[in-house]
Amino acid sequence: MGLAMKVETATWEGAVLKAKGLVMVDFWAVWCRPCQTIAPTIEELATEYAGKLTVAKLNTDENPDVASRYQIMGIPTLMFFLDGKPIEKIVGAASKQQFKEKIDSLLTV
């Protein structure tokens, strides 16, 4: 993993809920082909938006409690948190440009 940080149940509160600014969480699983397809894009976004956006990855198989708390029904799901509050989500694989448009719109909030 590059700049995207791994989060799990034990680190969720500190890494996401107590974080200042915008956090994008990639809910994924090893067996999920679309998750694997967008993984390099998620890392690229983590690099491109370093200092403006925190990027985290949460394995839903290893942390089902967090996934169910946010009603993650399908993966990949990218969920955005602003100062610890969920504000937006993208369900399913999308293009890098679509992710960037969403991030850019949320950074101007």
Summary count for the chain: helices (H), strands (E): 4, 5
Q: Please say if 29 is a catalytic residue.
A: no
Task: Give me the catalytic one of 35, 46, 53, 93.
Answer: 35
The question of whether 14 is a catalytic residue gets the answer: no
Q: List beta partners, residue 59.
A: 28
Cα separations in angstroms, 91 against 13, 50, 52, 75: 22, 23, 22, 7
DSSP category for residue 61: T
Of 4, 22, 32, 38, which residue is the catalytic one?
A: 32
Structure tokens at 102: 């969403």
Residue linked to tokens 């089902």: 64
List, by residue number, the catalytic residues.
32, 35
